[in-house]
Amino acid sequence: MEFQVILTPLAEQDLEKIGRYIARNNEDASHRFCDELVFAAQSLGNFPRRHGSTTRRPTIRKLPYGNYLIFYKIHEETGIVEILRF
């Protein structure tokens, strides 16, 4: 089953902040890296259970990407992977 991947408003804000931070030194790298982060998040639609949960919150999972973590939650009943934070 393929899941739909959605970003929460907080995740979108995180992505914007990350992009602005990287753009201070290299705007092209900023766009590339943010695209890569979104691509990594979208890949969870195919294999959402490939990464473990966090220690404090067992329903929240994390996907490492570079120096960042992508926190997400799987909603089995609706077939949605919700990206909570970057």
In the predicted structure, residue 29 carries a pLDDT above the cut 90: yes
Question: How many domains is the chain built from?
Answer: 1
In the predicted structure, residue 81 carries a pLDDT above the cut 90: yes
Residue 54 lies in domain = 4-85
Query: How do residues 35-77 score in pLDDT, each as one tens digit?
Result: 999 999 999 999 998 887 777 888 899 999 999 999 999 999 9
- Confidence (pTM): 0.89
pLDDT, residue 57, reads 84
Cα–Cα distance for residue pair 72/6, rounded to 1 Å: 10
- Cα–Cα nearest to 76, from 42, 49, 39: 49
CATH code of the domain in which 27 resides = 3.30.2310.20
Percentage of the chain exceeding pLDDT 90: 86
